[in-house]
């Protein structure tokens, strides 16, 4: 039985496999026009967002609705949180109104506090430390493309950020070997690297993007300048020079390598237009899979 998902490491390997299989089934059912069991019938899901969103908000709202529930969008600016109400008070009140909270927050500490004071499950829909729902969609996409996860070789090119952190943990749980290439000073959080390795992950770190790309079955990148980092833009663009996912870098990978990006993309910066629109790109399948992976997560969450 699942509960709050603050980190992808809150899942074990059997739970991850169950979610992957269920997500594939739900995706096939939707494609065939078959309705799924309304597991969320009579239930409401509060969606607390401190950051703008396209894929996360829409995919969660659709997932909740297709499972028979009521998604309730809650902008932190429109709640009393925006006027200084303690988070612990909001958490305890929400717990009496809704059956689950999906939270997209600025600080990971907010999630920890929200989960501490909530008597209902809390799902991390993005924080500055992790993005576990994105990683579920990433793994689902790789599994669709490769037929399996264990033994796949992946390369991460760019910033060792929140998406990278969850992808590392997902690779560790699923048996994907991962090489993370970042500029010096932009490495992933050391504690999360060690946590991934403790889960059995084959995780290598490098400052050479060509090393990460060499023979890879999957190449993954993300923006160099995330929300809230605009003041660092010029410095970051200089620091990440040479880390663009281009045709030249892709040529070093396996001939059947797929390309991933969690979107939105800054075309011409971390990835070229040619690569994201190329035949190896599965970026838009990956975006679609947010819906199916999150629907599976919600389905299992309410298996009570």
Instruction: Give me the residue label for tokens 């994907």.
Output: 176
Tell me the whole-structure pTM to 2 decimals. Answer: 0.96
Task: Give the 3-state secondary structure of residue 112.
Answer: helix
- The 10s digit of each residue's pLDDT in 240-262 is 999 999 999 999 999 999 999 99
Contact (Cβ atoms closer than 8 angstroms) between residue 127 and residue 105? yes
Catalytic-labelled residue, pool 99, 153, 290, 292: 290
Instruction: Give me the residue label for tokens 């607390």.
Output: 48
Q: Report strand pairing: 177-181 vs 153-157.
A: parallel
Q: What is the rounded distance in angstroms from the CA atom of residue 181 to the CA atom of residue 288?
A: 26
- Please state the rounded mean pLDDT for residues 230-236: 87
Within 10 angstroms of residue 229's Cβ, the number of other Cβ atoms is 14
DSSP code at position 50: S
Residue 66 pLDDT > 70, yes or no? yes
Query: Per the structure block, which two tokens stand in for 132?
Result: 């576990």
Query: Per the structure block, which two tokens stand in for 257?
Result: 């390598």
pLDDT of residue 77: 85
Residue 10 pLDDT > 90, yes or no? yes
Task: Give catalytic status of residue 34 as yes or no.
Answer: no
Q: What is the rounded distance in angstroms from the CA atom of residue 129 to the CA atom of residue 167?
A: 12
- The 10s digit of each residue's pLDDT in 90-132 is 999 999 999 999 999 999 999 999 999 999 999 999 999 999 9
Q: Is 175 exposed, middle or buried (0-12, 13-18, 19+ CB in 10 A)?
A: middle
Catalytic-labelled residue, pool 261, 262, 280, 292: 262
Catalytic-labelled residue, pool 57, 131, 143, 195: 131
Task: Give catalytic status of residue 171 as yes or no.
Answer: no
- Please state the rounded mean pLDDT for residues 281-296: 98
The residue ranges of every structural domain in the chain are 8-130+290-301, 134-287
Task: Give catalytic status of residue 222 as yes or no.
Answer: yes
- Please state the rounded mean pLDDT for residues 75-84: 84
Range in 82-86, 130-134, 152-156, 212-216 the model is least confident about: 82-86
Catalytic-labelled residue, pool 55, 57, 99, 104: 104
Q: What angle do CA 134, 138, 143 make, to 5 degrees?
A: 150
Size of the chain, expressed as the number of residues it contains: 304
Within 10 angstroms of residue 280's Cβ, the number of other Cβ atoms is 18
Catalytic-labelled residue, pool 55, 171, 222, 286: 222
DSSP state string for 204-220: EEES-HHHHHTT-SEEE
Q: Identify the CATH assignment for 8-130+290-301 out of 3.40.50.1370, 3.30.1300.10, 3.30.830.10, 3.30.450.40.
A: 3.40.50.1370
Q: How confident is the model at residue 1 (pLDDT cuts 50, 70, 90)?
A: low
- The 10s digit of each residue's pLDDT in 150-171 is 999 999 999 999 999 999 999 9
Q: What is the CATH number of domain 134-287?
A: 3.40.50.1370
Q: What angle do CA 155, 161, 166 make, to 5 degrees?
A: 70
Of 2 and 26, which is predicted with more confidence?
26
Say whether 134-287 and 8-130+290-301 share the same fold.
yes
CA distances from 99 to 31, 42, 59, 64, 78 (A): 28, 10, 18, 12, 20
Task: Give catalytic status of residue 207 as yes or no.
Answer: no
Catalytic-labelled residue, pool 99, 134, 159, 171: 134
Task: Give the 3-state secondary structure of residue 48.
Answer: strand
Q: Which helix (H) or strand (E) holds 203?
A: strand 203-206
Q: How confident is the model at residue 78 (pLDDT cuts 50, 70, 90)?
A: confident
């Amino acid at each position: 039985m699942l509960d709050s998902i603050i980190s992808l490491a809150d899942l074990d390997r059997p739970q991850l496999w169950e979610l992957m299989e269920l997500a594939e089934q739900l995706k096939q059912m939707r494609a065939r026009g078959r309705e799924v069991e309304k597991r969320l019938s009579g239930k409401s899901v509060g969606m607390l967002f401190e950051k703008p969103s396209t894929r996360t908000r829409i995919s969660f709202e659709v997932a909740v609705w297709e499972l028979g529930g009521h998604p309730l969008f809650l902008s932190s600016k429109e709640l009393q949180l925006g006027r200084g109400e303690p988070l612990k008070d909001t958490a305890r009140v929400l717990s009496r109104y809704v059956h689950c909270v999906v939270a997209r927050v600025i600080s990971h500490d907010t999630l920890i506090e929200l989960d501490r004071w909530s008597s209902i499950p809390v799902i991390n829909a993005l924080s500055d430390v992790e993005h576990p729902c994105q990683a579920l969609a990433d793994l689902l996409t790789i599994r669709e493309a490769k037929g399996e996860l264990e033994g796949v070789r992946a390369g991460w090119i760019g910033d060792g950020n929140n998406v990278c952190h969850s992808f590392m943990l997902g690779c560790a749980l699923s048996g994907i070997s991962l090489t993370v290439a970042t500029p010096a000073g932009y490495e992933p959080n050391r504690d999360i690297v060690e946590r991934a390795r403790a889960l059995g992950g084959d995780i290598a770190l490098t400052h050479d993007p060509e090393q990460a790309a060499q023979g890879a079955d999957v190449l993954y990148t993300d923006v160099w300048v995330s929300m809230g980092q605009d003041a660092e833009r010029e410095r970051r663009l200089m620091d990440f020079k040479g880390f663009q996912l281009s045709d030249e870098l892709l040529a070093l990978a396996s001939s059947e390598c797929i390309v991933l990006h969690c979107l939105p993309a800054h075309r011409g910066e971390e990835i070229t237009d040619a690569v994201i629109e190329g035949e190896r790109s599965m970026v838009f399948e990956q975006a679609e899979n947010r819906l199916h992976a999150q629907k599976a997560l919600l389905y299992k969450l309410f298996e009570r």
